Amino acid sequence: MDFLSPYVQQIEKNLSELSLPKSPATLYDPQRYLLETGGKRIRPVLTLIACGLCKGDTQNAIPAAIAVELLHNFTLMHDDIMDQAESRRGRASVHLKWNTSTAILSGDSMYTQALLQVHKIPEDVDYKKVALVFLEGINRVCEGQALDMEFEERESVSIDEYLEMISGKTSALLSAGMQMGGIIAGSESSGIEKLAKLGDTLGLAFQIQDDWLDIVADPDKFGKKTAGDVFEGKKTYLMISLLNSCNKEEKKWLLNCLKNKPLAKPDVDKVIELYKKYDILESAAALKDSYYSEAENILNTFEESGYKQDLKQLIETLKAREY
C-alpha cells in the first residue's frame, strides 16, 4: 500500500521519537520492543485521513494518531497474555520474552502513554470532546474482549451478538480514531457521526473478512494454517452461522467437538464440508462485501479531496486482500 507511505512515515517518525525513559528497563523496553515489530499502522493512518477529509491540518492530528496506535499495541500485549499466544508479528510475545507480570505492567504503562499523547493536541481543540471519544472507544474495546471471552464458554451465540462483539473489539478503535481526527479538524456533529459510522463499518468488514480468509486464504500469505480458527474452536461468523444452519444431529456433533479443543484434523475437515454444504462461505463473503459497500457509500458523502481518494483506494485494497 505505497499510497499510504506519506502517512505511515509520519507515524513511524513520531513513534521513534517517543520519549520513553530508559529506566526502569522492564517497564519501557517491552514497549519499544513491541512498537519495533511494526504493523500496518492502519488505525493511526485513518485518524490522519479523517482529519484531512474534514479539511483539517493533519499535523494537528498526529498526537491523536499516536495515541490510537499506542492503545492498539497495549491491547495486543494484554491479548497475547489472555490467549497465551507465543508470537506476535513473527517475534516472541512480550509475556514470553520477559514474563507475564512484566507484560501486564508494561501494557498498563503503554495505556498511560496513549492517554498522555491526547494532552498534546493543539490548545484550540476541544480536548474534553476528544478525550471522551477516546475513552468511550477504549471501553467499547474492553466490552468486546469480555464478550469474546464469554462466548468461549457459551453453546449458543447469535449473529447479532457476534456483530456486537466485533463492533467493540475490532471496530471501536477505528471509529474512535476517525472521530478524533474529525474533532481536531473542527468538523460539525454530522461529520463526526459519519466518521464514527465509517470506522465501525470498516471494522466489521475487516473482521468478517478475516473469518472468511481463515478458510479460503493461501496459508503462506495469510500467515497461519488453513482453518486455524476451526482448529481452535473459535466462534467466528462462520462457526456461528453453521450452528444456526445445520440440522440437529450435525449441531449435536459440532457442539461436542467444540468442547474438546483443539479439534482433530478429521473434525476440522468435516466442519469445512459443512460450511460448503450450507453456503456459509458465500454468506460471509456477501456480508463483508455489503459492509465495504456501506463504507464506500458513507465516504462518497464527503467532498472530493486527496484524502478521500486515499481512503477510497484503501477500502478497495482491503476488499481485495488475500491475507
Other Cβ atoms within 10 Å of 228 Cβ, number: 16
The residues of the chain scoring below 50 in pLDDT are none
Residue 222 has a pLDDT of: 67
- pLDDT value at residue 220: 74
Q: Give DSSP secondary structure letters for 224-271.
A: S-TTHHHHTT---HHHHHHHHHS-HHHHHHHHHHHTSSSPPHHHHHHH
How does pLDDT run across 53-74, given as a tens digit for each residue?
999 999 999 999 999 999 999 9
Indicate the class that CATH gives domain 2-319. mainly alpha
- Give yes or no for a contact between 209 and 320, defined as CB atoms under 8 angstroms apart: no
Q: What is the pLDDT of residue 90?
A: 83
Bond before 24 cis per omega within 30 degrees: yes
Domains of the chain, by residue range, sit at 2-319
ω before 63 within 30° of 0 (cis)? no
3-state secondary structure of 156: coil
Q: What is the pLDDT of residue 38?
A: 84
How far is residue 56 CA from its own chain's centroid?
25
Q: Which element (helix H / strand E) includes 52?
A: helix 42-53
pTM of the predicted protein model: 0.94
Give the three-state DSSP class for 117.
helix
User: Can you tell me the distance from the alpha carbon of 97 to that of 93, in angstroms, rounded to the nearest whole number?
Assistant: 6
CB 172 within 8 A of CB 137: yes
